[in-house]
Amino acid sequence: MIEFADVSVEKNGVPILKDITVRLSERRIGVIGRNGSGKSTFARLFNGIEAPSAGTVTLNGVTERKALRRHVGFVFQNPDNQIVYPIVSEDLAFGLKNLKLPRDETQARIDEVLARFDLAHLRDRFTHQLSGGEKQMVALAGVLVMRPTMIVLDEPTTLLDLWNKRKFMAAIDALDEPVVVVSHDLDLLGHFDRVLHIEDGSIAGDGRPGPVLARYVAGSQC
Amino acid sequence: MLTDLYVFGDSPLHRTRPVVKITALVVFCSTLFIVEGWASVLVAGALVVTGFAVAGLKPRHAFVSVRPALWILAAIFAVQAYLTDVVFAGFVVARFVVLILAAALVTLTTRTSEFVDGILSALTYAPAWVPKEQIALAISLCLRFIPLVRAVLEDVRQAQSARGLDRNLTALLVPLVVRTLKTADEVSQAVYSRSFD
């Protein structure tokens, strides 16, 4: 379970998130909101990329930022900004090297994650030559290979075509780990357990997807 | 292109430890500058050609490695020919070509991650205040982001061209720098989120 207690974030004196208090224990959680509402900042608090100006973020008793990022994997909108090494297998090994895992275990984990997502044929490919869908899958694999407790994805399907979006979301749905997805694509979140609507730095809606998404859509009518 | 930075293979050169290759390259280049004369360039050239053959690399790889430097080599040749003579200008350029090919032989047979490990090995005895991991990561990111920055440049060039600003350097550079910095910001977050200290 992850808990936000009176969390606020301020940047250059501008409040981005205001007194967020929420407990999240569901397996599939969606986060929606307008551009600039603070939802990406909210997502970045999960694994300590962002630090709260006030309040605490606690995952299963862990509050320290460095520990949080070991437990929470983060997938960015643009995989080009997430993939660090030029060859797929090297990139998958990057996070594991940072965890100081032995070479044998690193290779075993890479083999396992590549097989899990049917990506073994990409092992020795140059990352910049992959399609957008393949890159996003490699970015996800690079996170999962570190075996996080929880995974947060920030608009992961924005740059994908319909086919790759479906394939990617099928992979997400199949994950055992708890997942938080920030998205403008409301169709993705319809079957989730819970949806948070962030508006102007606060939680404006929280509950089952049906009513939260319906209110959000109604509020967007011009 | 980045695809020409590493060529997959299992040759003795591919298997040699990166730190050995880097050290050998430093010694090779230094010797080439210390020992004057055509003989040294010819011997060094023969060694590099043998290295390419052993590594299973093709003449295309050699050409692609030298191609970006052709304009500079031409300028060096012209200046040297003007200041000294054509034979000496040819010698200077031939020496540079051998140096470039020797360096290419190392990069073409060394994965980026191995290269980074080699740098880290070389920095093992560096003082504690030297940020070894950061230096190694910075080098790997430079290699990784060459094609990315090139793609951004092409994007911006096309966008500005559509607005009739294809000859305006400011219109090209400002968005390029802004987008590159924005990308760098997100990359640093991504690196951080993957447990890099």
Report, as an integer, the average pLDDT of B70-83.
94
pLDDT confidence band for B98 (50 / 70 / 90): very high
Domain end among B68, B99, B122:
B122
Inside any domain, residue B84:
yes
Closest CB from B5, B6, B144 relative to A84 = B144
* CA distance, residue A203 to nearest chain B CA (Å): 25
Q: Are residues B67 and B8 in the same domain?
A: yes
Among A128, A135, A153, A159, which would you mutate to test the B interface (most chain B Cβ atoms within 10 Å of its Cβ)? A128
Spans of chain A, pLDDT less than 50? none
What residues in A contact B9, CB-CB < 8 Å? none
Residue B37 in this model has a pLDDT that exceeds 80: yes
**Is the whole-model pTM more than 0.90?**
no
Contact A128 B148 (CB under 8 A): yes
Q: Taking a C-beta distance cutoff of 8 angstroms, is the pair A142, A94 a contact?
A: yes
Domain boundary among B100, B122, B144: B122
Pair of tokens at residue A118 = 């049917």
Same domain assignment for residues B108 and B154: no
Q: Find the mean pLDDT for residues B171-190.
A: 89
- How near does any CA of chain A get to the CA of B4, in Å? 10
Q: Which domain holds residue B165?
A: 132-193
What pLDDT does B123 receive?
83
B111 with B41, same domain: the answer is yes
Please check the confidence at residue B112 and state whether its pLDDT lies above 50.
Answer: yes
Q: List the single residue in B with minimal CA-CA distance to A145.
A: B194
Query: Where is A136: in which H helix or E strand?
Result: helix A132-144
What confidence category does residue B2 fall into, taking pLDDT thresholds of 50, 70 and 90?
very low
Nearest-CA distance from B191 to chain A in Å? 7
Same domain, B50 and B77: yes
B197 touches chain A (CB under 8 A): yes
| Residues of chain A contacting residue B7, judged by C-beta atoms under 8 Å apart | none
Rounded-to-integer distance, Cα B58 and Cα A194, Å: 57
Q: Do B183 and A49 touch (CB under 8 A)?
A: no
Domain at A82, CATH number: 3.40.50.300
- Are the beta carbons of B187 and A66 separated by less than 8 Å? no
Query: Do B107 and B185 have their domain in common?
Result: no
**Phi, psi at A195, each rounded to 5°:** -130, 135
Whether residue B85 is contained in a domain is answered as: yes
- Of the candidates A153, A152, A160, A114, the one whose C-alpha atom is nearest the C-alpha of residue A133 is A160
Terminal alpha carbon distance of chain B: 30
8 A C-beta contact, residue A161 and residue A133? yes
A93 touching B (Cβ < 8 Å) = yes
Q: What is the mean pLDDT of residues B15-19?
A: 89
Q: Are residues B17 and B56 in the same domain?
A: yes
3-state SS track over B136-152: HHHHHHHHHHHHHHHHH
Q: What is the mean pLDDT of residues B36-41?
A: 90
Burial class (CB in 10 A: 0-12, 13-18, 19+), B40: middle
Q: Which residues of B touch A98 (CB under 8 A)?
A: 194-197
Residues B117, B137 share a domain: no
Provide the domain limits for residue A46: 2-219
| A78, A85, A124: residue with CB nearest B144 | A85
Residue-wise pLDDT tens digits, B125-144: 888 888 888 888 888 788 77
Interface test with A, best of B3, B193, B196 (most A CBs within 10 A): B193
> What's the rounded mean pLDDT across residues B72-100?
94
Residues B62, B105, single domain; the answer is yes
Q: How many C-beta atoms surround the C-beta of residue A144 within 10 A?
A: 22
Count of structural domains, chain B: 2
B47 CB-contact burial (10 Å; exposed 0-12 / middle 13-18 / buried 19+): middle
pLDDT tier at B59, thresholds 50, 70, 90: very high
User: Looking at residues B94-109, what average pLDDT do you find?
Assistant: 94
* CB half-sphere exposure, B87, CA atoms < 13 A: 2
Interchain CB distance below 8 Å, B195 and A73: no
Q: Is A47 on the interface with B (CB under 8 A)?
A: yes
| Any A CB within 8 A of B161 CB | no
Q: Does the CB of A101 have a partner CB in chain B at under 8 Å? A: no
**What six digits make up the tokens of A35?**
């551009």
What is the predicted pLDDT for the residue at B90? 94
Same-domain pairing of B52 and B116: yes
- Are residues B189 and A84, on separate chains, in Cβ contact within 8 Å? no
Round the average pLDDT of chain B to a whole number and report it: 88
Residue B191: which of A44, A70, A84 has the nearest Cβ?
A84
| A98: contact with B, CB 8 A cutoff | yes
Is residue B36 one of the residues assigned to a domain? yes
Number of domains in chain A: 1
Task: Say how far apart CA B158 and CA B151 lie, in whole Å.
Answer: 11
- Choosing from B122, B146, B178, the residue where a domain stops is B122
Instruction: Check A84 against B111: CB less than 8 A apart.
Output: no
Outline where chain B has alpha helix (H): 12-15, 18-34, 38-54, 59-66, 70-83, 86-108, 112-122, 132-162, 169-193
Structural domain contains residue B110: yes
Q: If you ran DSSP here, which 8-state letter would residue A2 be given?
A: E
**Per-residue model confidence (pLDDT) at position B1:** 44
Q: Does A67 touch chain B if contact means CB atoms closer than 8 Å?
A: no
B167 or B1: which leads in pLDDT: B167
Domain identity same for B15 and B100: yes
User: Are B106 and B25 in a shared domain?
Assistant: yes
Residue B105 lies in a domain: yes
